[in-house]
Chains A and B, each alone.
Chain A
Amino acid sequence: MKKLPPELDMSVSTFTDKRLKSIFLNVLNGSRLSREDGICIYETHDLIGLGQMANHVRRSLHGNKAFYIYNQHLNYTNICKNRCRFCAYARDRKEKGAYAWSIEEIEKRLLDRIDEPVKELHIVGGLNVDLKFEYFIDLLKTVKRVRPEATIKAFTSVEIDYLSNLAGLSLEETIQRLKDAGLEMMPGGGAEVLNSRIHKELFPKKIGHERWLEIVRAVHQAGIKTNATMLYGHIETIEERVDHLVTLRELQDETGGFSAFIPLAFHSENTQLSHIPPTTAMDDLKNVAAARLMLDNFDHIKAYWVMIGEKLAQVALSFGADDLDGTIIEERITHMAGAKSAIGLTKDQMVNMITKAGFVPVERDSFYHPIN
């Protein structure tokens, strides 16, 4: 066994959960953590020990840097035929508050903020049977025309599956058509927890985990990077969380197409699961740390401030996260489920949060190139 440098030795000697020591030695030796290690990481109450381990990995990858992006969300429709039990955002077509933006409306929303230095458009929406495949092609082309310098990060695997059926095209052809129209990257939503028990209980109408993985694999093979997520804090067990991470890690070994992992804290207000209490900081920080430690082949772990709050996202920078996501402007989906965070943050607020946490803010584009 290698001798530890003094500052690491000091951390290890203060672990209150001694099981963490052997896990950390594996991390330092570059050995991949096992499923059992993952379970231990979620079970431990030694939050600071966990933070020290994840922070070590985070700093060896990214040093003192903490990334953020100037982005804008566009949720083109909330009409969705899936009606997942954990969702507060979806509406039926005739329901109060249901909407679908026309291409003109989307153009107007982009033009409303055209003076802002938006570097990325995050575009996701419901499965709305009234929208034709051409709408999506138009959507991408319009965004590219109005905002040629911004990256289009759009559609989860769930939408890709739906679009492929809608167009009557193969997965590969569908992806190619979208790519030709301007799609450059994909967010990681719709995975929820890659597990058939949870699929059956919470989102039976949505694609299951085999299909999710199949689509992501095809997207990566088409040269499009995606993120990956996990929705935690509902009915999933620790084992199911760890299996989710291990599954993503295996796919990443195969494709190398994942950019960032984003743990998503479940918000139950206005959903069919409203009896489930909100996640606590302990849970939120553990999910960030667990991701950083288990996903040894992912470059980036995001602390998504919309879901865990601005203050805790800042803390999470020392628990394995290297990216605070974006300024966002007009977050809708989580706020429908009772999120107490801001609707958007200014660049100034972002920079302040990062600096005050002792990190160096780096504004980035979608592919983690720094913006000068």
Chain B
Amino acid sequence: MDKLNNIIEKVREHQRIDIDEGLALFRQADFLTLARLADQKRFHLHPDKMVTYVVDRNINYTNICASGCRFCAFFVPPNQGQGRGYIISKQDLFDKIQETIDLGGTQILLQGGMHPDLGIDYYVDLLGYIKENFDIHIHGFSPPEIDFIAKKSSLSISETLSILKKAGLDSIPGGGAEILCDDVRQKVSPNKCSSAEWLEVMRQAHGLGMRSSATMMFGHLEKEFHVFEHMDKIRTLQDETHGFTAFIPWTFQPDNTKISVKKKTGVEYLRILAMSRLFLDNIDNIQASWVTQGDKIAQTALFFGANDMGSTMIEENVVASAGVDFMLSKEELTRLITMAGFEPRQRDCYYHLL
């Protein structure tokens, strides 16, 4: 108990806690104590009673993927799927972006599968086409995609990123991190880049002046300490680069996947969310995940350390394939924020208020 109180004191005084202390706090602290500590930390960093959100759209340029991750319900393996596989047409892409802009959107989240036939030229062309036609921020290609494109085109990570940046890529989403521990990755996504490779893509991107988010998908085959190892790796890289804008934890959605586990409950999500706010002392923004948690837990998350509601997501396909289909309009998202006693503010990818 004394040990727990010491950790709580440390957190209160804004001192860094290590993995063991994080685990102890996570395991022993009362649910509402964690909430209060996270809430205090959140207001220490963001004194205004304001919650931000971004208006954007997920565009998945292809669902064909050679990775075959066991937790994924979205992908179609190459040369299979009886016509379910697709690569987005330019017309579709154009229409989706135009609609995003018409709805007040400021960015697109451009992600897709690791398509074995697509080399760097495809991506350069894709980015160029978007930038020629639209003035919109492109938040695109998570580290596993960058890593895949580099290998496919026999380029270094740094060359790949430079080429993509020049073609119009603005920032990198933090997806594909799952749990940055290779023993877990071996079990859930053996064909995806290693944790070191994931971190290296982010290091290089930050070095080129590109910002990125970081994510964590938990609730599959990881143990509690993996969660803290994951956050520790992110925190260490952030000390070095300061390139991460936000951290977004979300829960694995087991339906239609090859991993059979009980879905994480709302309380378990909120405990991890609060811990991420407390552990990641060098990341400004913590995002609530209404896509995986629904509107009610997302609103509750605003009292558990989150200061951002993420995106209105005009379109979302990946999580929806795993049986979760929460939709929120911009009006509903801002209503949730207002009802919780905060001022809703639209932001851009860099968390600048619009």
Cβ A356 vs Cβ B335 within 8 A: no
Given contacts A52-B32, A314-B266, contact A45 B299 (CB under 8 A): no
Whether the Cβ atoms of B268 and A284 lie closer than 8 Å is no
Which residues of chain B (261-316) have a CB below 8 Å from chain A?
A: 262, 264-268, 270, 293-297, 299-300, 303
Q: A280-B339, A282-B340 given as contacts; is B296 within 8 A of A311 (CB)?
A: yes
DSSP class of B's interface residues: helix, strand, loop or mixed?
A: helix
Residues of A near B268 (CB, < 8 A) are 356
Known contacts A48-B39, A285-B300, A357-B31; decide if A309 and B294 are in contact (CB<8 Å).
Answer: yes
- For chain B, give the interface size range: 20 to 34
Which A residues lie within 8 Å of B295 (CB)? 280-281
Type the 1/0 row for B138-178, where 1 means its CB is closer than 8 Å to any CB of A.
00000000000000000000000000000000000000000
Binary per-residue interface labels of chain A (304-335) against chain B in the complex, 1 for a CB within 8 Å, 0 otherwise: 00001111101100100000000000000000
Residues of A within 8 A of B332 (CB): 277
Inter-subunit contact B267/A356 (CB<8 Å): yes
Set of chain B residues within 8 Å of A315, measured between Cβ atoms = 266-267, 270, 297, 300
Q: Is the CB of B36 within 8 A of A48?
A: yes
Nearest-CB residue, chain B, relative to A356: B265
CB distance from B61 to the nearest CB of A (A): 31
A47 within 8 A of B: yes
Chain B 325-343, CB within 8 Å of chain A: the 1/0 string? Answer: 0000000100110011100
CA distance A33 to B270 in the complex (A): 30
Q: Is A55 an interface residue (CB 8 A)?
A: yes
User: Is A353 an interface residue when CB atoms closer than 8 A count as contact?
Assistant: yes
Q: A308 CA to B295 CA in the complex, in Å?
A: 11
CA gap between A356 and B268 in the complex, in Å: 7
The reply to whether the CB of B214 lies closer than 8 angstroms to some CB of chain A is no
Residue pair A45, B32 in contact (C-beta under 8 Å): no
Q: Is the CB of A352 within 8 A of B262?
A: yes
Residues of chain A lying within 8 A (CB to CB) of residue B303:
47-48
Check A280 against B267 for contact (C-beta < 8 Å): no
CA distance A123 to B300 in the complex (A): 33
A280→B31 contact, CB < 8 A: no
B residues near A309, Cβ cutoff 8 Å = 294, 296
Are A283 and B339 in touch, CB under 8 angstroms?
yes
Q: Are A52 and B36 in contact (CB under 8 A)?
A: yes
CB distance from A364 to the nearest CB of B (A): 21
| A-chain residues with CB within 8 Å of residue B31 when the two chains form the complex | 318, 357-358
Q: Chain A's interface: helix, strand, loop or mixed, by majority?
A: helix
Mask of A287-312 contacts with B, CB within 8 angstroms, 1/0: 00000000000000000000011111
B185 CB to closest chain A CB (Å) equals 25
Interface pair A357/B339, CB less than 8 Å apart: no
Cα-based distance from A11 to B37 in the complex (angstroms): 10
| Interchain CA distance A283-B340 in the complex, whole Å | 9
CA distance A238 to B300 in the complex (A): 21
Q: Is A14 an interface residue (CB 8 A)?
A: yes
Cβ-closest chain B residue relative to A284: B296
Q: A309 to B324: give the CA distance in the assembly, Å.
A: 14
Residue A51, interface by CB 8 Å: yes
A312 and B266 contact, Cβ closer than 8 Å, known pairs A55-B32, A280-B296:
yes
| Given A283-B339, A314-B267, A357-B265: A308 touches B296 (CB 8 Å cut-off) | yes
Enumerate the 3 nearest inter-chain pairs by beta-carbon distance, A residue then B residue, closest first. Answer: A45-B341, A311-B266, A281-B296
Chain A interfacial positions (CB closer than 8 Å to B): 11, 14, 16, 45, 47-48, 51-52, 55, 277, 280-285, 308-312, 314-315, 318, 340, 352-353, 356-358
In the complex, besides A280-B336, A312-B297, A315-B297, 4 extra interface pairs with C-beta distance below 8 angstroms are A281-B295, A314-B265, A315-B300, A356-B267
Sample (24) of A-B pairs whose CB atoms are under 8 Å apart: A11-B32, A14-B36, A45-B341, A47-B300, A47-B340, A48-B32, A48-B303, A52-B32, A277-B332, A280-B335, A280-B336, A281-B296, A281-B340, A282-B340, A285-B300, A309-B294, A311-B294, A312-B266, A314-B267, A340-B294, A352-B262, A356-B264, A356-B268, A357-B31
